[in-house]
Amino acid sequence: MSDSLPLIVGLGEALYDLLPAGPALGGAPLNAAVQAHQLGNHAVVASRIGRDALGQALLDDLAGRGMDTSFIQRDLHAPTGTVKITLRDGEPEYDITRGAAWDRLAWEEPIAGLAKRCDAVCFGTLGQRLEPAQSTIRQFVTAASQAVRLFDVNLRQDDFSAELLEAGCRAASIVKMNEAELATVAPLLGLAQAEPIPALMERFKLGLFVLTRGKDGTALHTADSITLGQAARFATEPDADSVGAGDACSAAVLHGTVRRWPLQQTADLANRLGAFVASRHGPTPILPADLLANGNN
């Protein structure tokens, strides 16, 4: 992998989504890293998996996609994480196993070194539900002061708190969430209900706020502008699900940001990538050549 490519890190949970159509690679930061890699970046996953068959399958899958797996720790005592996903009208509901290996992500030298040299990192709420992973992720993001730091708010079950959200927003340069998450986060952080996004951006001195709006696509907010991505549609596979569409948006935002793209170009790619993933089974489908060409312009 060329050292000249931007180095993008997916930091946090690495797991398998147990979907009705079968298991698929999962975890928001892993999904974002896989898509960022497909877009032409040097993207890696920093996480922890078990010394079990699922963990080996995860390593083999990533390696088969040409990704560096050297920042994925192995755990002798905890299993590779899984999430049972039930689809209701195509929308996912999550049952996340407890005591997974990624909860035990440790602050070790390879990860410490990665933090100091990465160009961008994507981290979220779920990966910080337990110690020591929470402290490891916070140390990483603090050490990666030179990088674009995207805090992806994924509210799952009860694995979040006002304190976690506050700390994540404060450590980030970009915050991303969907409309339902914004409605939950705003009162938890005491933001003005009428204008929660400007209030959040001002409070945490954010350069960019990313709002995902399902089929309505992505909106990129700065202090003085709102950029809407061009609508994108793809023919839908029979076993399609929307799992990972938001993570594909994260990958597009990181890809465009590290390249200093115009916001419109970034928002358009986010919509195309998210819509394509939502039209396919699982969160990390192989991207078509025309979409990749669009991402490398």
Q: Is residue 245 assigned to a domain?
A: yes
Q: What is the pLDDT of residue 294?
A: 63
> pLDDT by residue (tens digit) across 244-278?
899 999 999 999 999 999 999 999 999 999 999 99
Q: What is the pLDDT of residue 35?
A: 97
Angle at CA of residue 149, ends 148 and 150, nearest 5°: 115
Model confidence at 67, in pLDDT bands (50, 70, 90)?
A: very high
Q: Is residue 1 assigned to a domain?
A: no
Q: Is residue 104 assigned to a domain?
A: yes
The 10 Å Cβ neighbour count of residue 52 is 15
The residue type found at 48 is R
User: Distance between alpha carbon 199 and the CA centroid of its chain, in Å?
Assistant: 23
Q: Is residue 15 assigned to a domain?
A: yes
Query: CA 17, CA 234: separation in Å to the nearest integer?
Result: 23
Mean pLDDT of 231-242: 86
Q: Give the neighbor-by-neighbor strand order of the sheet with 7-11.
A: 72-75, 42-50, 7-11, 120-124, 148-152, 174-178, 208-212, 218-221, 226-228
**What total of structural domains would you count in the chain?**
1
Model confidence at 1, in pLDDT bands (50, 70, 90)?
A: very low
Beta partners for 149?
A: 121
The yes-or-no verdict on residue 3 having pLDDT over 70 is: no
Q: Is residue 2 assigned to a domain?
A: no
Q: Which two three-digit tokens encode residue 39?
A: 């877009």
Q: For a pLDDT cut of 90, what percent of the chain falls above it?
A: 74
Q: Is residue 262 assigned to a domain?
A: yes
Q: What is the pLDDT of residue 88?
A: 76
The yes-or-no verdict on residue 204 having pLDDT over 70 is: yes
Cis peptide before 132, with omega less than 30 degrees from 0? Answer: yes
Model confidence at 223, in pLDDT bands (50, 70, 90)?
A: very high
Contact 59, 65 (CB under 8 A): no
Model confidence at 19, in pLDDT bands (50, 70, 90)?
A: confident
Q: Is residue 122 assigned to a domain?
A: yes
Q: Is residue 77 assigned to a domain?
A: yes
Range of the domain at 32: 7-295
What is the reported pTM?
0.94
Question: The CATH number of the domain where 157 resides is what?
Answer: 3.40.1190.20
Model confidence at 57, in pLDDT bands (50, 70, 90)?
A: very high
Query: CA 121, CA 172: separation in Å to the nearest integer?
Result: 10
The yes-or-no verdict on residue 224 having pLDDT over 90 is: yes
Kindly tell me the sign of the dihedral angle through the C-alpha atoms of 186, 191, 192, 197.
Answer: negative
Query: CA 258, CA 264: separation in Å to the nearest integer?
Result: 15
74: phi then psi, degrees, rounded to nearest 5? -110, 140
Q: What is the pLDDT of residue 157?
A: 61
Contact 241, 200 (CB under 8 A): no
Identify the burial level of 87 via C-beta atoms within 10 angstroms of its C-beta, where 0-12 means exposed, 13-18 middle and 19 or more buried: middle
